[in-house]
């Protein structure tokens, strides 16, 4: 599900037994696994680029190079949560994301992350420019226009 006009990509998810530690709450690294899945869904469905094709055929990777997380409240097995992703900044070779996990029932913030992804060649493992189709899709979601059309000429006003 994509929140129309906001650039926010969202997925509802149930917290599973496999997400939890012996205390019955989400074991914190599992949030990173959940958000990695959300990034894959965003590339596939939100951007329409095709994650599998991007990685296996085009040999473009999206490794995380920076990650900062804040844990605000616990999530328990059976909870329904909403995972959200929004592009905070689109660079030449990087994408800064703002992600959140909130309760699907009452909107309580469970955790949030700031994450930087870098586009890389999976052959050389060097940073590369964000592919044009991916950039265009992200800019469209962000509401950014990058038209290369020259501005329309100004029409002279008629004096009455």
pLDDT tens per residue, range 100-124: 999 999 999 999 999 999 999 999 9
Query: Is the torsion defined by CA of 145, 100, 31, 15 positive or negative?
Result: negative
104's tokens: 């699907």
Average pLDDT estimate for 20-37:
97
Confidence of residue 145 (pLDDT cuts 50, 70, 90): low
Residue 43 CA: distances (Å) to CA of 47, 48, 75, 135, 160: 5, 6, 26, 11, 55
Specify the higher pLDDT residue, 146 or 2: 146
pTM: 0.85
Average pLDDT estimate for 74-97:
97
pLDDT for the residue numbered 4: 39
pLDDT of residue 49 exceeding 90, the answer is yes
């Amino acid at each position: 599900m994509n929140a129309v006009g906001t650039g926010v990509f969202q997925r509802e998810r149930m917290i599973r037994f496999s997400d939890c530690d012996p205390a019955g709450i989400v074991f914190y690294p599992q949030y990173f696994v959940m958000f990695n899945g959300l990034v894959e869904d965003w590339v596939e469905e939100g951007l329409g680029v095709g994650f599998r094709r991007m990685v296996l055929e085009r040999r473009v990777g999206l490794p995380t190079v920076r990650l900062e997380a804040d844990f605000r409240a616990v999530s328990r097995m059976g909870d329904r949560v909403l995972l959200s992703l929004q592009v905070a900044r689109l660079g030449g070779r990087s994408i800064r994301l703002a992600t959140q996990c909130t309760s699907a029932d009452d909107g309580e913030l469970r955790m949030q992350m700031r994450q930087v992804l870098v586009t890389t060649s999976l052959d050389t493992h060097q940073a590369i420019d964000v592919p044009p189709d991916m950039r265009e899709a992200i800019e469209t979601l962000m509401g950014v226009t990058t038209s290369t059309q020259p501005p329309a000429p100004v029409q002279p006003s008629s004096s009455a």
